[in-house]
């Protein structure tokens, strides 16, 4: 047990759930933990003693070698549909250290890559440095873009090698999340425990994330609607920045509405709605254009798990579930078009706005326009000389857009300021992430720090970060990997 507390305030409500929901874990110590990255701004937000986090005691905690008082040390049980196939899963390489309490809020502190757990199956429970730094870069960039996400507090190396195709340096990421409740946690309760456990879990999720629904006529229906709305909003936000999650399995969809599990994710450069980056997604199940649909598919799995709580009579429960799920698309489209209106500087609502936005995307796809740069150029009223901006199709669209803008009473300057506040100039572009990770694997962290600094202010580029706004010289096919 540690002497200094570094500001941690643990209180583990998860341990009040039935033991079926978790397994206690004792980790093997790692030999030589070394702090690679500390997100001190996040540490500060969490009310932690930032300086103490650079010291050995803290580093041993980030490595899973020692734990502050009150820490839980558990692996959570969950199941999930992976590429459509149902499996028992659970934290196979993650350890929940506990819930850190800051005033009225509580967040999960989890070590990813900390070692084997009872759910590790054939895996080693470990992670290597580059993928953990990749999660750090992208999750923090998502946060800066205003997209709900788990956060990354620290990355340490372990002093051990992990064996993938080659020997790699082992690393552990400290992940911070509103919670790690997933659609798959409910699927686990429904498939492997029982109705009472589903109810117990739902009550827990409600008290933790949606306490206001507790007094609804049927809190479980209201709870489902909340999760559905948060997911619709989240996926709309992904679409609006060209983010491809890559592995939208039901175990990777949170109940809180945060983006989780940065494995094979990537941002689109040249716009192609069929973009898929993951090496194993051969069918394109999780391609960009299919993400909204998969969101609904996953929510249907959540509804199935909650069925007995919707109504006692099964037919009635199914009718309710179908009605609920039937509204998902409307939620999603409402969030998407409202986000798209902001991107295009449209303050009022006109029925043809959807067609205007869709037409723009069609032309962007036709000319392989860079997703981020195109919207940013429209916001800054600049026109890069490229196939898209010089096309006849764009010229015609621009006339329609200008006519549409002229029908609202906003000053051009205000409109452009609004557009610039929602259309990022900087995203963690694939080639830049790769460049930073290649250097980081040689323990040169300058590129990584610079990239993270640029991504921390995506709407407001400093002169020294201008080169981060450029699309890659040639947008070569990019391949990403799961579970590395």
Binding stretches for ligand AMP (CB under 6 A)? 89-93, 119-120, 123-126, 247, 251-252, 261, 263, 482-483
Q: How far is the CB of 292 from ligand AMP (least distance, A)?
A: 20
Q: How far apart are CA 56 and CA 33, in angstroms?
A: 9
Q: How far is the CB of 247 from ligand AMP (least distance, A)?
A: 6
Q: How far is the CB of 414 from ligand AMP (least distance, A)?
A: 43
The H or E element spanning position 403 is helix 392-406
Binder of residue 20, out of ligand AMP, Mg ion, none (CB less than 5 to 8 A by kind): none
Candidate list 91, 108, 251, 370, residue with the active-site label = 251
Q: How far is the CB of 123 from ligand AMP (least distance, A)?
A: 2
Beta strands in 140-265 (DSSP E): 151-163, 167-177, 243-244
Q: How far is the CB of 252 from Mg ion (least distance, A)?
A: 5
Q: Which is nearer to ligand AMP, 125 or 219 (CB)?
A: 125
- Size of the chain, expressed as the number of residues it contains: 484
Q: State the burial class of residue 395 (Cβ atoms within 10 Å of its Cβ: 0-12, 13-18, 19+).
A: exposed
Residues 6+ apart with CB under 8 A from 31: 158, 159, 160
DSSP letter at 218 equals: S
Q: Which residue from 153, 157, 68 is spatially nearest to 443, judged by alpha carbons?
A: 157
SS3 category, 155 = strand
Q: How far is the CB of 75 from ligand AMP (least distance, A)?
A: 8
Angle at 423 between CA 173 and CA 235, to 5 degrees: 55
Binder of residue 125, out of ligand AMP, Mg ion, none (CB less than 5 to 8 A by kind): ligand AMP
Q: Which is nearer to ligand AMP, 169 or 251 (CB)?
A: 251
Binder of residue 126, out of ligand AMP, Mg ion, none (CB less than 5 to 8 A by kind): ligand AMP
Residues at the site binding Mg ion, with contacts judged by CB under 5 A: 252, 261
Nearest to ligand AMP by Cβ — which residue? Answer: 123
Binder of residue 310, out of ligand AMP, Mg ion, none (CB less than 5 to 8 A by kind): none
Binder of residue 134, out of Mg ion, ligand AMP, none (CB less than 5 to 8 A by kind): none
Q: Which is nearer to ligand AMP, 30 or 325 (CB)?
A: 30
Q: Which is nearer to ligand AMP, 172 or 325 (CB)?
A: 172
SS3 category, 257 = coil
Nearest to Mg ion by Cβ — which residue? Answer: 261
Angle at 256 between CA 251 and CA 258, to 5 degrees: 75
Binder of residue 308, out of ligand AMP, Mg ion, none (CB less than 5 to 8 A by kind): none
Give 231-234's long-range contacts (Cβ < 8 A, gap of 24+): 231/257, 231/295, 231/298, 231/299, 232/295, 232/328, 232/331, 232/332, 232/334, 232/335, 233/257, 233/331, 233/335, 234/147, 234/148, 234/258, 234/259, 234/295
Q: With contact defined as beta carbons under 8 Å apart, do 157 and 113 qualify?
A: no
Q: How far is the CB of 39 from ligand AMP (least distance, A)?
A: 21
DSSP characters for 263-313?
Answer: SS-EE-SB--TT---BTT-TT-TT-GGGHHHHHHHHHHHHHHHHHHHH-SS
Q: With contact defined as beta carbons under 8 Å apart, do 170 and 124 qualify?
A: no
Q: Which is nearer to ligand AMP, 82 or 410 (CB)?
A: 82
Q: Which is nearer to ligand AMP, 125 or 458 (CB)?
A: 125
Look up 251 and say whether it is catalytic: yes
Angle at 100 between CA 61 and CA 154, to 5 degrees: 40
Q: With contact defined as beta carbons under 8 Å apart, do 152 and 136 qualify?
A: yes
Q: How far apart are CA 48 and CA 5, in angstroms?
A: 9
Binder of residue 482, out of Mg ion, ligand AMP, none (CB less than 5 to 8 A by kind): ligand AMP
Residues 6+ apart with CB under 8 A from 440: 36, 129, 130, 133, 447, 448
SS3 category, 243 = strand
Phi, psi of 346 (to 5 degrees): -95, 115
Q: How far is the CB of 251 from Mg ion (least distance, A)?
A: 5
Q: Which is nearer to ligand AMP, 81 or 465 (CB)?
A: 81
Q: Which is nearer to ligand AMP, 280 or 334 (CB)?
A: 280
DSSP letter at 27 equals: P
Q: How far is the CB of 173 from ligand AMP (least distance, A)?
A: 12
Q: Which is nearer to Mg ion, 119 or 267 (CB)?
A: 119
Binder of residue 311, out of ligand AMP, Mg ion, none (CB less than 5 to 8 A by kind): none
Binder of residue 93, out of Mg ion, ligand AMP, none (CB less than 5 to 8 A by kind): ligand AMP
| Residues noted as catalytic | 251
């Amino acid at each position: 047990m540690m002497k200094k507390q570094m500001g941690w305030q643990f209180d583990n409500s998860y341990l009040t759930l039935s033991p079926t929901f978790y397994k206690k874990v004792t980790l093997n110590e790692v030999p030589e933990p070394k702090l690679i990255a500390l997100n001190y701004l996040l540490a500060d937000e969490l009310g932690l003693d930032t300086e103490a986090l650079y010291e050995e005691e803290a580093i041993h905690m980030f490595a899973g070698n020692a734990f502050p008082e009150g820490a839980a040390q558990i692996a959570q049980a969950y199941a999930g549909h992976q590429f459509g196939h149902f499996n028992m899963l659970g934290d196979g390489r993650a350890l929940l250290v506990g819930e850190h309490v800051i005033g009225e809020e509580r967040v999960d502190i989890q070590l990813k890559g900390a070692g084997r757990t009872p759910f590790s199956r054939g895996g080693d429970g470990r992670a290597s440095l580059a993928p953990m730094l990749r999660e750090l870069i992208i999750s923090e960039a998502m946060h800066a873009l205003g997209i709900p996400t788990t956060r990354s507090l620290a990355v340490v190396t372990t002093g051990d090698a992990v064996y993938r195709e080659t020997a790699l340096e082992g690393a552990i990421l400290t992940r911070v999340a509103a919670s790690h409740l997933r659609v798959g946690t409910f699927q686990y309760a429904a498939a492997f425990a029982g109705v009472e456990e589903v109810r117990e879990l739902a009550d827990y999720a409600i008290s933790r994330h949606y306490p206001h629904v507790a007094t609804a006529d049927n809190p479980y229906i209201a709870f489902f609607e909340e999760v559905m709305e948060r997911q619709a909003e989240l996926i709309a936000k992904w679409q609006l920045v060209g983010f491809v999650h890559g592995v939208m399995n039901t175990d990777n969809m949170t109940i809180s509405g945060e983006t989780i599990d940065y494995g094979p994710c990537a941002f689109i450069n040249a716009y192609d709605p069929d973009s898929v980056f993951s090496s194993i997604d051969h069918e394109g199940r999780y391609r960009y254009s299919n993400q909204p649909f998969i969101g609904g598919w996953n929510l249907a799995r959540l509804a199935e798990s909650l069925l007995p709580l919707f109504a006692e009579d099964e037919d009635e429960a199914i009718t309710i579930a179908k009605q609920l799920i039937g509204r998902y698309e409307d939620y999603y489209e409402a969030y998407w078009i409202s986000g798209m209106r902001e991107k295009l500087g449209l303050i009022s609502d006109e029925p043809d706005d959807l067609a205007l936005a869709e037409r723009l995307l069609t032309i962007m796809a036709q000319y392989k326009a860079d997703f981020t740069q195109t919207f940013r150029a429209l916001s800054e009223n600049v026109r890069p000389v490229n196939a898209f901006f010089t096309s006849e199709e764009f010229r015609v669209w621009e006339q329609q857009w200008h006519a549409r803008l002229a029908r609202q009473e906003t000053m051009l300057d205000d409109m452009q300021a609004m557009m610039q506040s929602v259309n990022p100039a900087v995203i963690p572009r694939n080639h830049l992430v790769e460049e930073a990770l290649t250097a980081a694997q040689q323990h040169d962290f300058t590129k990584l720090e610079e990239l993270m600094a640029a991504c921390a202010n995506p709407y407001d580029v400093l002169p020294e970060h201008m080169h981060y706004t450029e699309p890659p010289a040639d947008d070569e096919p990019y391949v990403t990997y799961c579970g590395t």
